Amino acid sequence: MATLEDVVSVLVEILGEIKVLNERVDKIEDYLIDMTVAVESIKNITESIDDNVHTIKLDIDSIDNTVQNIDISVG
């Protein structure tokens, strides 16, 4: 039968392992927060690119209309 000292020793060992696991969980949480921030940043960049592409398409349409008007005027 285990002595009280043996039980305490095992409990201390278990608590040490729990502490290590908690530290790992904290690191994982920090990593996930960093990844969430990075994903949000990428999302914002993507939205900005989409806006710029839309603006470029509008500019191209405007140029196309201007060219058509010039063709009509010249023709």
Report the run of H or E that residue 54 belongs to, with start and end: helix 4-74
pLDDT (tens digit per residue) in 14-57:
999 999 999 999 999 999 999 999 999 999 999 999 999 999 99
Find the radius of gyration of the CA atoms of the chain: 32
Place of tokens 């201390």: 12
**Length of the chain counted residue by residue:** 75
* Backbone CA torsion sign across 50, 53, 57, 63: positive
Which band of pLDDT confidence, cut at 50, 70 and 90, is reported for residue 2?
confident
What distance in Å separates the CA atoms of residue 71 and residue 33, rounded to the nearest whole number? 57
Number of neighbouring beta carbons within 10 Å of residue 65 = 10
Look up residue 13 and give its amino acid: E
